[in-house]
A and B are shown apart, each in its own frame.
Chain A
Amino acid sequence: MSTVASPEELYCHNVLRPGNTNCAGCGMSIGLRWLDEALDGEKPTMVIPACCGIVTAGAFPTTAFGVPTAASTFASAAAVASGISNVYELNGESNVVVCWTGDGGTYDIGVATLSAAAERNENVLYICYDNEIYGNTGGQRSSATPEGVVTSTTPKGKSERKKDMMAIMAGHRIPYAATLSVAHRDDFLRKIRTARKTSGFRFLLMLSPCPTGWKSDPEESIDLISYAVRSGLFPLYEIFDGIRYRLNERPDGMPVEEYVTRQRRYTKVPTDVAPLKSYIEDQWRYLDAMAKAFPADGGVNPCHRIPSEDHDRKGE
Chain B
Amino acid sequence: MARAMETGNHTAGYALAVAGEANRDARGCVCGAYPITPQSEIIEFLRGFVFTKGCVVPVESEHSAMAVCIGASLAGARTFTASSANGLAYMAENIFAAGFYRLPVVLIAVNRTLGPPWNIWVDQGDSLMLRDAALLQFYAESHQDLVDTILVAFRVGEDERVLLPVLVALDGFVTSHTQMVVDLPEQELVDRYLPHCKIPHRLRGDHPTTIGGLTWPRETEHHRIEIQEAMERVPQVLTEALDEFEQVFGRRPHGALSAEHTDDADMVLIACNTMARTLRNVVNTRRSKGERIGMIKSKMFRPFPREELLAAVSNAKRIGVLDRNHSPGSGGIFWQEVATTLQPCPDVIVQDYLVGLGGGDVTPRFIDEIIDDLASRDKAGKPVWKEVAV
Evaluate contact between A75 and B210: CB separation under 8 angstroms.
no
Complex partner residue of A79 from B59, B75, B76, CB under 8 angstroms? B59
Let me know if B72 is at the binding interface, CB within 8 A: yes
Known: A79-B71, A80-B74, A81-B71. A86 touches B57 (CB 8 A): yes
B216 engages A115 (CB within 8 Å): no
Residue of B60, B209, B219 near A68 (CB, 8 A) is: B209
Contact A73 B60 (CB under 8 A): no
Is A113 a contact of B94 with CB atoms below 8 Å?
no
Q: How far is the CA of A63 from the CA of B94 in the complex (A)?
A: 23
In whole Å, how far is A111's beta carbon from the nearest beta carbon of chain B?
10
Is the Cβ of B60 less than 8 Å from the Cβ of A84?
no
Question: A29-73: contact bitstring with B at CB < 8 Å (1 yes, 0 no)?
Answer: 000000000000001010100000011011111010111111111
Does B382 count as interface, using CB distance less than 8 angstroms? no
Within 8 A of A (CB), among B67-111: 67-77, 79, 93-94, 97
List B173-206 residues whose CB lies under 8 Å from chain A: 203-206
Q: Does B344 contact A (CB under 8 A)?
A: no
Q: Contact between A87 and B75 (Cβ–Cβ < 8 Å)?
A: yes
A87 touches B210 (CB 8 A): no
Residue of B nearest to A56 (CB): B213
Nearest chain B CB to A86 CB, angstrom units: 5
In this complex, the member of B72, B73, B75, B76 whose beta carbon has the largest number of chain A beta carbons within 10 angstroms is B75
Indicate whether A90 sits within 8 Å of B27 (C-beta atoms), given known contacts A72-B67, A73-B93: yes
The answer to the question of A116 belonging to the interface, with a C-beta cut-off of 8 Å to chain B, is yes
Question: Does A63 lie within 8 Å of B213, measured CB to CB?
Answer: yes
Chain A residues in 8 Å Cβ range of B165: none
A75 to B68, alpha carbons, bound, how many Å?
12
A interface residues, tally (CB under 8 Å) = 44
Closest to B206 in A: A43
B60 to chain A, nearest CB (A): 4
Q: Beta-carbon contacts of A166-190 to B below 8 Å, as 1s and 0s? A: 0000000000000000000000000
Q: Is A271 an interface residue (CB 8 A)?
A: no
Chain A CB within 8 A of B215 CB: yes
Q: Evaluate whether A83 and B73 lie within 8 angstroms (CB atoms) in the complex, with A12-B208, A73-B94, A113-B64 already known.
A: yes
Identify which of A71, A72, A80, A112 contacts B61 (C-beta below 8 A): A112
A57 and B213 form a contact (CB under 8 A): yes
Give Cα distance in the complex from A135 to B209, angstroms: 24
Bound Cα distance from A71 to B79, whole angstroms: 19
Q: Which of B279-296 contact A (CB under 8 A)?
A: none
Interface centre among A13, A57, A85, A87 (most CB of B within 10 A): A87
Contact of B30 among A68, A71, A76, A87 (CB under 8 A): A87
Knowing A80-B67, A83-B72, A112-B61 touch, does A57 contact B215 (C-beta < 8 A)? Answer: no
Once the chains bind, are A70 and B71 in contact (CB under 8 Å)?
Answer: yes
Counting chain B residues whose Cβ lies within 8 A of the other chain, the interface size class is 35 or more
A88 within 8 A of B: yes
> Is the Cβ of B210 less than 8 Å from the Cβ of A47?
no
Q: Are A86 and B72 CB-contacts (below 8 A) given A68-B205, A116-B60?
A: yes
B390 within 8 A of A: no
Q: Which of A63, A87, A113 contacts B76 (CB 8 A)?
A: A87
User: Given the complex, which residues of B lie within 8 Å of A76, measured CB to CB?
Assistant: 63-64, 67, 70, 94, 97
By a CB distance below 8 angstroms, the chain B residues around A93 are: 205
Are B213 and A59 neighbours in the complex by a CB distance under 8 Å? yes
The reply on A120 being an interface residue by CB < 8 A is yes
Chain A residues packing against B (C-beta within 8 Å) = 12-13, 43, 45, 47, 54-55, 57-61, 63, 65-73, 75-76, 78-88, 90-91, 93, 95, 112-113, 115-116, 120
Using CB atoms and an 8 Å cutoff, list the residues of chain B in contact with chain A.
27-28, 30, 32, 53-55, 57-61, 63-64, 67-77, 79, 93-94, 97, 203-216, 219
Q: A70-B203, A73-B94 are in contact. List 16 more A-B contacts (CB 8 A).
A: A45-B75, A57-B213, A58-B213, A58-B214, A70-B71, A72-B212, A73-B97, A75-B63, A80-B71, A80-B74, A83-B79, A84-B74, A86-B30, A86-B57, A115-B60, A116-B61
For this complex, 27 residue pairs linking A to B, each with C-beta atoms less than 8 Å apart, are A12-B208, A54-B213, A59-B215, A60-B214, A63-B209, A68-B208, A69-B208, A69-B211, A71-B211, A71-B212, A73-B97, A75-B93, A76-B63, A76-B70, A76-B94, A79-B59, A79-B67, A79-B68, A79-B71, A82-B59, A83-B67, A83-B70, A83-B75, A84-B72, A84-B74, A84-B75, A88-B75
3 A-B pairs closest in CB distance: A83-B71, A71-B212, A79-B67
